[in-house]
């Protein structure tokens, strides 16, 4: 089993575990650093973004309460998230996230249909990557505004309300009710209409572009802050790099920095999801290495790259 | 003059037969205070007067008793607890501790000073999940003369507008007036016809004012019934804490249409851009 096949197997297992595990009594808590959507009935764990926003373990509470025992609860939940993040880092995105897996399935479907991936200019890519930080700031500020500045409570969980995973992931549990417009009041009407528009936009985008949503994912932005402290590392041996740019061509989110880096060993960029496709495609022995606690998880090699090419041709 | 007189007549004539002109006694619930995971305190208050503008001053009444019965998932029997009226805070609230799985029935009973009127009030709390509904509790053994109103399902942690309830007067049969009143903070009073068994159907109507508030916001709706017995006029109430309906306003057809239309537009735009770029 090569790296790509291993990844597919782990993704499938994670998808089944996180989407249906709750039905078998598995409870992984509310601090998962991946899109295990809480709106999926019977899921095994909840995405940390929901906890981060809401009133039990998140920002939606008066500032004075944050400096009381409530603040300790926030810290405890954040500590659980931090522990999981430090343990597996971006592997949560590339190997475990069910919504990431769904995107990979859509990309695989596109390839089966013989449709080429859409490309965009570097300048466009550079502009778009900031959106995830804007979303992250929004999902922190809006709950604070609800609790402290009297913003209407129907803006609660602002990111969850517009997240495309909310309507799409419950489909796997047989629920279609989030594909709806809520006419309770003008705010619910606006937010659900926005949710439908964004879901359609991202679904089409995810079909034509690999990991399209990950470019905008605020959880990826949050995870990237802890890259330098985590156990998962991505190293480049710059002296053995042949400059073939295979890493850049095979990256689902078009990261250029791995190819362009000529000095630094650490090439884990904020957009990287540790899918390891770059290392798998790299033909130089030991040039790109993913490590976990100083031990190699996967090291690029000529043989692995050759097998990958041969595997593709025989298909 | 005639028009004015007609207007006054229409204005002062109640739209139902059982206006509790003398007022009624009811239980209102304050905002739940979370203590820890699975534990909370629910402040309750007994009010008297014309709903909803009741008075906390209960000095017009005599023999006021407030008590509650608790049934937990782990317990098979109801536990009866009287509330010490001295425990009321400055606003008249009395705290009730609620644990996970608790179903609580709250009762208040009083008579007028001349004993010609008897007031019974009831409410329920079911804040956390429970495995199965408990058997009915017989309050008459604890408070003689208590006229008990019923709302079925008896326990629901999140009662909503738009959901049908079975309401009635327990053990009354044909003995009572066959109507009940639903008094609402925001809506006009509604009369509910009861069948021969003393029960009828009531669906709290959709409330625009409640819809405009937050999803956590609630309002009180009071069910009131009257009965004459042995020369004493009994007025009984049941307070419901209602939230706005979570599902009633979801329009799936509109959602699907908007989703499809957007997907079509985005798809057309992507195809156009790809063709332009020579894909």
For residue B7, is it within any domain? no
Q: Quick: pLDDT tens for A147-168.
A: 999 999 999 999 999 999 999 9
Nearest to B263 among A181, A182, A200 (CB): A200
Q: Do both B78 and B131 map to the same domain?
A: yes
Both B95 and B145 in a single domain? Answer: yes
Interface check A60 vs B, CB under 8 A: no
Distance from the B33 Cα atom to the nearest Cα atom in chain A, whole angstroms: 12
**CA–CA separation, A29 vs B155, rounded Å?**
28
- Chosen from B213, B248, B259 to mutate, greatest number of chain A CBs within 10 A: B259
Residue B1 counted as domain residue: no
Please determine, for residue B256, whether its predicted confidence score (pLDDT) is greater than 70.
yes
Residue B115: inside a domain? yes
Is A121 within 8 Å of chain B by CB? no
Taking alpha carbons only, the member of B122, B125, B121, B82 closest to residue B103 is B125
Using pLDDT thresholds of 50, 70 and 90, give the confidence band for residue B169: confident
Q: Do B258 and B171 have their domain in common? A: no
Q: Which residues contact B175 (CB under 8 A, 6 or more apart)?
A: B227, B229
Residue B145 lies in a domain: yes
Does B118 share its domain with B144?
yes
Contact with chain B for residue A265, Cβ under 8 A: no
Q: What is the ipTM of this complex?
A: 0.92
| B201 within 8 A of B167, measured Cβ to Cβ | yes
Asked if A109 has any chain B CB less than 8 Å from its own CB, the reply is no
Strand partners, B218: B243
Within a domain: B193: yes
The Cα–Cα gap between A227 and A108 comes to: 29
Does B184 share its domain with B278? no
Q: Per-residue pLDDT averaged across B225-250, rounded?
A: 90
* CA distance linking residue A22 with residue A35, whole number of Å: 15
User: Does residue B9 form part of some domain?
Assistant: no
B11 is a domain residue: no
Q: Establish if B8 belongs to a structural domain.
A: no
Mean confidence (pLDDT) of chain B: 84
Rounded to an integer, the average pLDDT of B211-240 is 90
Give the mean model confidence (pLDDT) for residues B116-145: 80
Given a cut of 80, is residue B78 above it in pLDDT? yes
Same domain, B261 and B157: no
Question: B57 with B71, same domain?
Answer: yes
Return the H-helix or E-strand segment holding B181: strand B179-184
Distance (Å, whole) CA A37 – CA A54: 14
Residues with Cβ within 8 Å of residue B98, at least 6 apart in sequence: B32, B39, B40, B41, B42, B104, B125, B127, B128
Is pLDDT of B173 > 60? no
Tally of domains in chain B: 2
Are B262 and A197 within 8 A, CB to CB?
yes
Residue A86 pLDDT exceeds 90: yes
Same-domain status, B168 and B45 = yes
- Please tell me which of the candidates B214, B252, B262 has its beta carbon nearest to residue A153: B214
Query: Can you tell me the mean pLDDT for B12-39?
Result: 70
Q: Do B60 and B109 fall within a single domain?
A: yes
pTM: 0.85
What mean pLDDT is predicted for residues B84-109? 87
User: Which of B33, B36, B258 is best to mutate for the A interface (most A CBs within 10 A)?
Assistant: B258
pLDDT reported for residue A241: 93
B55 has pLDDT over 80: no
Residue B55 shares a structural domain with residue B96: yes
Same domain, B70 and B97: yes
Domain ranges, residue B264? 252-279
Contacts of A160 (CB under 8 A, 6+ apart): A38, A39, A49, A50, A53, A166
**Residue B5 pLDDT exceeds 70:** no
* Residues in chain A within 8 Å Cβ distance of B212: 185
Are B45 and B151 within one domain? yes
User: Does A128 contact chain B (CB < 8 Å)?
Assistant: no
CB A289 within 8 A of CB A300: yes
Q: What is the pLDDT of residue B52?
A: 81
Q: What is the pLDDT of residue A313?
A: 61
């Amino acid at each position: 089993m090569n790296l790509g096949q291993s990844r597919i197997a782990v993704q499938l297992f994670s998808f089944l575990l996180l989407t249906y595990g709750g039905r078998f009594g598995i409870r992984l808590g509310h601090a998962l650093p991946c899109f295990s959507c809480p709106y999926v009935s019977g899921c095994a764990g909840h995405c940390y973004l929901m906890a981060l926003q809401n009133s039990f373990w998140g920002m939606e509470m008066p500032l004075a309460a944050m400096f009381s025992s409530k603040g300790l609860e926030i810290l405890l939940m954040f500590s659980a998230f931090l522990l999981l993040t430090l343990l597996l880092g971006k592997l949560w995105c590339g190997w475990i996230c069910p919504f990431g897996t769904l995107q990979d399935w859509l990309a695989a479907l596109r390839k089966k249909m013989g449709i080429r991936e859409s490309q965009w200019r570097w300048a466009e890519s550079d502009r778009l990557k900031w959106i995830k930080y804007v979303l992250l700031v929004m999902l922190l500020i809006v709950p604070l505004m609800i609790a402290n500045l009297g913003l209407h409570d129907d803006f609660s969980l602002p990111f969850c309300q517009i997240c495309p995973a909310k309507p799409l992931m419950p489909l796997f549990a047989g629920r279609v009710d989030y594909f709806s417009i809520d006419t309770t009041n003008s705010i619910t009407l606006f937010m659900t209409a926005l949710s439908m528009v964004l879901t359609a936009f991202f679904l089409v985008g995810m079909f034509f572009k690999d990991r399209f949503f990950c470019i905008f994912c605020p959880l990826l932005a949050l995870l990237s802050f802890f890259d330098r402290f985590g156990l998962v590392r991505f190293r480049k041996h710059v002296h053995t790099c042949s400059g073939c740019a295979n890493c850049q061509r095979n990256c689902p989110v078009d990261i250029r920095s791995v190819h362009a880096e000529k000095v630094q060993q650490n090439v884990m960029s904020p957009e990287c999801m540790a899918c390891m496709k770059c290392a798998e495609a790299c033909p130089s022995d030991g040039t790109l290495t993913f490590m976990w606690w100083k031990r190699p998880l996967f090291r690029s090699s000529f043989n692995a790259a050759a097998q990958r090419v041969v595997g593709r041709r025989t298909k | 003059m005639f028009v004015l007189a007609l207007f006054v007549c229409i204005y002062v004539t109640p739209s139902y037969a059982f206006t509790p002109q003398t007022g009624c006694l009811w239980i209102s619930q304050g905002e739940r205070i979370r203590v820890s995971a699975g534990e909370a305190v629910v402040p309750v208050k007994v009010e008297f007067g014309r709903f909803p503008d009741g008075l906390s001053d209960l000095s017009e009444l005599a023999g006021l008793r407030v008590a509650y019965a608790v049934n937990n998932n782990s317990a098979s029997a109801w536990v009866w607890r009287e509330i010490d009226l001295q425990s009321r805070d400055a606003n008249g609230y009395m705290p009730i501790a609620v644990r996970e799985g608790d179903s609580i029935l709250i009762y208040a009973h009083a008579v007028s000073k001349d004993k010609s009127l008897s007031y019974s009030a009831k409410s329920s709390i079911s804040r956390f999940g429970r495995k199965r509904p408990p058997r009915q509790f017989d309050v008459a053994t604890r408070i003689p003369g208590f006229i008990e109103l019923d709302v079925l399902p008896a326990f629901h942690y999140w009662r909503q507008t738009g959901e049908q309830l079975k309401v009635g007067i327990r053990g009354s049969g044909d003995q009572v007036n066959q109507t009940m009143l639903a008094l609402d903070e925001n809506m006009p009073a509604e009369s509910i016809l009861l069948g021969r068994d003393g029960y009828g159907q009531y669906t709290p109507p959709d409330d625009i004012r409640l819809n405009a508030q937050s999803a956590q916001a609630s309002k009180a709706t009071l069910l009131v019934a009257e009965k004459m017995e042995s020369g004493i006029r009994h007025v009984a109430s049941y307070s419901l804490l209602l939230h706005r309906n979570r599902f009633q306003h979801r329009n799936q057809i509109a959602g699907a249409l908007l989703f499809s239309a957007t997907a079509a537009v985005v798809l057309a735009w992507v195809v156009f851009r790809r063709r332009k770029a020579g894909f």
